[in-house]
Chains A and B, each alone.
Chain A
Amino acid sequence: MMLMKNQIIKLLSVVTACAAIAACDADFENPVQGNAGNSGDADLSKFVTIGDSLTAGYADGALYKSGQEDSYPAILAQQFAKVGGDANFTQPLVSDDLGGLLAGVIQITDNRLVLNLTDPDSPSPEVVAGTPTTEVMSNLGGTYYSNLGVPGAKSFHLGAPGYDDGAGILAGTANPYFVRMASSSALTAGTTMITDAATQAPSFFVLWIGNNDVLSYASTGGIGVDQQGNPDPSTYGSDDITDPTAFAGVYAGLVGALTANPATQGVLVNIPDVSTIPYFTTVPYNAVPLDQATADYLNGLYAPYNGGVATALGAGSAETIKRTINFTAGQNAVIIEDEYLTDLSGGGLPSMRQATADDLLVLTAKTEIGLGGGTAYALGDNFVLIPEEKALVAAATSAFNANIKAAADANPNLILVDSSAIMQEISTTGIDYGTGAINATYATGGAFSLDGIHPTARGYAVVANRIIDAINDGFNASIPAVNPGDYSTIFVK
């Protein structure tokens, strides 16, 4: 009996031992873990980024703290540090996640947007409640920040004196974000964005500038002026398109300042086609539902206009047809102002017509349409980007991008990242990032935040991965990518 018991124990232990031997974990042939990566030929020891809101990490209509923490420069710096790069990357973090700015005690910019889904059929972005605590008039202390992303900055602002002077905020010659973060303080002389960048003597930089040189014109429906032919930015209004010649000069100066040390390496990012972003693609030109009675009523209102136009321009002429307003039962195109039409204001006829698929209504037009804009009265110029305006934007963008590409081509230490192609991909096929996908659909697509212009943290992560890809290709490196799925998208109230 003892013997038998021993045998059983032995048998049990053998079986258990066999199980233990066999139960070795399943492992991948090529595990992603343990692939540490390396920086290749890239010198990432001092990393500086300079640009506008996209570089700052702006999203949902504001610059808020967690957005900054997920900015593409922050993501890049985090991944660079994994391959021995700059571990001291700094950002001028705002004080809270509301994102609004105070100048004195006055709130000068709105808090971030959240999406209210109480009525699922009509999701509406709204400004999140709360009193912000970020005071722009108290400078962060005269230090140099690695991330010099300044919301609102245009190309020529990077070298503009006074851009750090709080006294110029109201006049528009200074930028509150830069006033707060500039290395200058009350005690020191003024500085510029590019000086703050170059003074840090980066070994590696990212320059992404020029978006606002076209975007501020486009996002205000083209109320500004195309300044092509006027090389003096000091004469521009805030919503104008920058002259390509002026841009070329400014851009060469920026790249020159950043590469004063010829060993400096960097990434130049070009400018997306603004017409691909949800700010311009969400509100349809023809989505005003009318019943027959309302259509008849409106047609009655516009009959004198139609008659006047026909008289002035000739019945059946191309422009008369274009300007003839006609509502029907069902979905209708909105009426918009069009300053490119023949000026008949002398006869009391405004320059207006019904929109077509070629007109891009801006995101903020939705509220205006709800108030009667486009039916009871024409939507103002600031709510729509018409084909003539789109062409100006496209021409300037293309000129700027040719310039950026030439700058990258001219210096073997610089590479180009084609953000225009990335945004095009997001807005057409979407981008599958491996564990999910984003596209440019407003609110649900995951790529764009609630302002319809700036990416979500997830969108920024996709951009960061593309920049990492380009650096890996261009500098023989293998910097690890991030999982965009780990980054947030929009915020629902």
Chain B
Amino acid sequence: MKIKILIIACMCLSGSVYAGGYRVALQGQKALGMGHTGVAMSDSSEVVFFNPGAMTALDNDFDISGGVTLIDSVIKYQNKTANVSAETDNPVGTPISFYIAQRHDEKLSYGIGIYTPYGNAVEWQKDWAGSHLVNNIELHAIYIQPTISYKLSDTYSLGFGPTLVSGSVEFNRNLSTSLIDDNGNRSNVTLKANNVTAIGYNIGLFIEPSEELSLGISYRSKVDLRARDESADFQNIPTSLQAVYPDTTFNADLVLPAELTIGVSYGLSKDLVLAADLNRTYWSAYENLDVQFNNGAGTSYNPRNYNNANILRLGAQYAMNDDLTIRAGIYFDHSPIGDGYYTPETARADSTGYTAGATYKISKRMELDFSLLLLEFEEFNGSYDYYDQGGTLISFGGDYKSSVTTLGFGLNYKY
């Protein structure tokens, strides 16, 4: 019976984890089952990420949870004028999350979180039609967040954690739409930066006006990853240009934008909980991805000019019995990318995420979590109009269609 319902739920949902840009919203298996809501939930140590203020509201004195999510994503591209199509062969992504929450006393809890809220792994076929913008990119940012939470009153609880961020990126693209070496191989550059560190913070306020109702607000700060003197490897450069384009170092800044979330959860009955979150991601901080090379290549100007964008998240969880809880959710993600700034390395249109999840209680202390996300992006005709080729801006555009499927597993131990 339980299984039938699950199947039905899954079938119905066939149809949030990624958000616009390079945000990867997969920070908790329980939360993801409910449309990645969670700022007003207090059911596991996932709150370290979603709302540090909710740590004091956890039922248990100790709660450790961890999970891994498999991401299968594809971006398809076509241009009718040039009669060309392409699709990515992205490696399967495996972001992890890990949280511990420990009650110190009635007022104070502390914990730590390790999670990867930003990332990107896109691999187009080498020298494809848009290879002057990107051949492949792999971006990771690991956040480590020691956290404390303090109960201000029976109703209000505040949490705070500094985030130590370590980012790595590898990015390859061709130097132009045409430059080749003597053997006809396209000239290209690979940028590599490892362990670029920066500091940010995560702060949250958790409010419990009544037994059934919880409210939450959290803010995660912007983090600026500043790559300095990292490696730029120029390949397949024609002989007469080799003095201009030797392998060199580069400087670049990548912003991981701030995010504000407000949300509410309501226990409709003992078994049924509904949740809703509204995220605002301050993507306007992502103005460009300029790369300053320390050789004759000079500075590559790549304006992005993203817009702030909202995501509405809705979720429900239902306790079937003492052992099994099932979840479902949906979210509506508005693309932060404006007209003319649609690049194939983050080809993300407006999307709708359908999620499902389940928790099975293996023992009194141990729970097994599952999550499933289907993220459907709208088919979108967009272009990037700011590629500078010899002083002329040339456009690269076409139809894009993307989809993401993720499957997550987690364990939650508490006592």
> Footprint of B on A, CB under 8 Å?
4, 7-8, 10-12, 14-19, 21-23, 25-33, 115-118, 120, 430, 432-437, 439, 441, 444-446, 458, 480-486, 488-493
B239, A493: Cβ atoms closer than 8 Å: yes
B389, A444: Cβ atoms closer than 8 Å: yes
Q: Counting CB contacts under 8 A, is B399 at the interface?
A: yes
Residues in A with CB closer than 8 Å to B299 are none
Given A15-B407, A22-B14, A118-B243: A32 and B83 within 8 A (CB)?
A: yes
Given A492-B179, A493-B239: A18 and B74 within 8 A (CB)?
A: no
Q: List 18 A-B contacts (CB under 8 A).
A: A14-B6, A19-B405, A21-B10, A21-B11, A26-B401, A28-B379, A28-B399, A32-B79, A33-B85, A115-B240, A117-B241, A432-B395, A436-B177, A437-B389, A441-B392, A482-B82, A492-B238, A492-B240
B83, A26: Cβ atoms closer than 8 Å: no
B180, A491: Cβ atoms closer than 8 Å: yes
B401, A27: Cβ atoms closer than 8 Å: yes
Closest to A25 in B: B74
Q: Mark B70-82, 1 if CB is under 8 A from A, else 0.
A: 0010101011111
Closest to A484 in B: B82
> Footprint of A on B, CB under 8 Å?
3, 6-7, 10-11, 13-15, 72, 74, 76, 78-85, 129-130, 132, 177-180, 184, 238-241, 243-244, 296, 354, 356, 358, 360, 362, 368, 370, 372, 374, 376-377, 379, 389-392, 394-399, 401-403, 405, 407
Q: How many Å lie between the Cα of A490 and that of B402 in the bound state?
A: 35
A31, B78: Cβ atoms closer than 8 Å: yes
Residues in A with CB closer than 8 Å to B74 are 25-26
Residues in B with CB closer than 8 Å to A481 are 81-83
Residues in B with CB closer than 8 Å to A435 are 79, 82, 84, 129-130, 396-398
Given A435-B84, A493-B238: A23 and B178 within 8 A (CB)?
A: no
Q: How many Å lie between the Cα of A19 and that of B402 in the bound state?
A: 16
Residues in A with CB closer than 8 Å to B368 are 8
Given A26-B377, A117-B240: A437 and B392 within 8 A (CB)?
A: yes
Given A32-B80, A117-B240: A22 and B85 within 8 A (CB)?
A: no
Q: How many Å lie between the Cα of A31 and that of B77 in the bound state?
A: 10
A434, B238: Cβ atoms closer than 8 Å: no
Residues in A with CB closer than 8 Å to B243 are 118
B82, A18: Cβ atoms closer than 8 Å: no
Residues in A with CB closer than 8 Å to B79 are 32, 434-435, 483
B370, A11: Cβ atoms closer than 8 Å: yes
Q: How many Å lie between the Cα of A28 and that of B354 in the bound state?
A: 20
Q: State which of A18, A436, A437 has its C-beta within 8 Å of the C-beta of B10.
A: A18
Closest to B401 in A: A26
Q: Is the interface of A mostly helix, strand, loop or mixed?
A: loop
Closest to A120 in B: B244
Known contacts A15-B372, A483-B84, A483-B129; 10 additional CB pairs below 8 A are A8-B360, A19-B405, A22-B374, A25-B403, A26-B76, A26-B376, A28-B379, A436-B132, A446-B178, A493-B240
Q: State which of B6, B396, B398 has its C-beta within 8 Å of the C-beta of A11.
A: B6
Residues in B with CB closer than 8 Å to A32 are 78-80, 83-85
Q: How far is the CB of A488 from chain B (nearest CB, A)?
A: 7
Residues in B with CB closer than 8 Å to A480 are 83
Residues in A with CB closer than 8 Å to B376 are 26
B72, A7: Cβ atoms closer than 8 Å: no
A485, B370: Cβ atoms closer than 8 Å: no
B407, A19: Cβ atoms closer than 8 Å: yes
Residues in B with CB closer than 8 Å to A7 are 360
Q: How far is the CB of A492 from chain B (nearest CB, A)?
A: 4
B84, A28: Cβ atoms closer than 8 Å: no
Q: How far is the CB of A433 from chain B (nearest CB, A)?
A: 6
A489, B178: Cβ atoms closer than 8 Å: yes
Closest to A123 in B: B240
A4, B362: Cβ atoms closer than 8 Å: yes
A437, B178: Cβ atoms closer than 8 Å: no
Q: How far is the CB of B103 from chain A (nearest CB, A)?
A: 29
Residues in B with CB closer than 8 Å to A8 are 360, 362, 368
Q: How far is the CB of A160 from chain B (nearest CB, A)?
A: 38
Q: Which 9 A-B pairs have the closest CB atoms?
A: A434-B81, A18-B10, A444-B390, A434-B82, A26-B403, A492-B238, A489-B178, A483-B82, A483-B84
Q: How many Å lie between the Cα of A469 and that of B188 in the bound state?
A: 33
Closest to B84 in A: A483
Q: How far is the CB of A140 from chain B (nearest CB, A)?
A: 26
Q: How many Å lie between the Cα of A216 and that of B111 in the bound state?
A: 82
A117, B129: Cβ atoms closer than 8 Å: no
Residues in B with CB closer than 8 Å to A484 are 82
Q: How many Å lie between the Cα of A15 and that of B29 in the bound state?
A: 13
Q: How many Å lie between the Cα of A18 and that of B80 in the bound state?
A: 34
Point out which of B129, B178, B374 has the most chain A C-beta atoms below 10 A from its C-beta.
B178
Q: State which of A19, A441, A458 has its C-beta within 8 Å of the C-beta of B372.
A: A19
Closest to A33 in B: B85
Q: State which of A18, A482, A483, A488 has its C-beta within 8 Å of the C-beta of B180.
A: A488
B372, A18: Cβ atoms closer than 8 Å: yes
